[in-house]
Chain A
Amino acid sequence: DAGVIQSPRHEVTEMGQEVTLRCKPISGHDYLFWYRQTMMRGLELLIYFNNNVPIDDSGMPEDRFSAKMPNASFSTLKIQPSEPRDSAVYFCASSLTGASTEAFFGQGTRLTVV
């Protein structure tokens, strides 16, 4: 398996623009997680899905952020409108059987909002 695949690897956008980050989890994994990593706040869980259903979105910072998982092999994290403080590395991860099992991480998307 190719592992968790995220695209794009790097994204530079202007403030106010819409940004969409994409993730393809490992085939057969039932759980998908979105994390954000910044120097100030470290690794934060934004949202996670089980069988394509959002289970916990309490980490989503505000209404400008939304995440979807239309099928078992694809998820998106959208920011609209983007702001400079959204600049961070966004990681997608997936796990096989539960939120309590090990998660496999993608290589991340480095987002810069100018």
Chain B
Amino acid sequence: AQSVTQPDIHITVSEGASLELRCNYSYGATPYLFWYVQSPGQGLQLLLKYFSGDTLVQGIKGFEAEFKRSQSSFNLRKPSVHWSDAAEYFCACTGRRALTFGSGTRLQVQP
């Protein structure tokens, strides 16, 4: 069975600082991996996805993520956080079944 772990429930960073959100997956083969963002009262918006090829993927809003097979990880990064990035971030994976989501990481941005 596929599963996703996001070890950080809540992260606070200062505006302009760099950001890394952790994600580990469990799946028998190479999964498809996604990061979604959810603003309060809104649905989920796709930030980026990894299917195959280059292990460093670029997404919207200046986010990127790196797939590391050896560590079963797909961490999300941003070099300089903006106040508007405050939201909840979900990592997800899938093989043949529908998306399985992690528990989410809530990002707070300090001025």
B-binding residues in A (CB < 8 A): 4, 31, 33, 42-43, 45, 48, 56, 91, 93, 99-108
Contacts and interface: CB of A to CB of B under 8 A. Distances in A.
Contact of A105 (B41, B44, B49, B97): B44
B111 to A, nearest CB: 27
Given A42-B104, A45-B100, A100-B32, A91 B44 contact: yes
Interface residues of B, number: 22
Contacts of A105: 36, 43-45
B99 A103 contact: yes
Interface in B51-97: 90, 94-97
B65 to A, nearest CB: 14
B43 A45 contact: no
Nearest to A44: B101
B97 A91 contact: no
A91 B43 contact: yes
Contacts of B44: 91, 93, 105
B96 A99 contact: yes
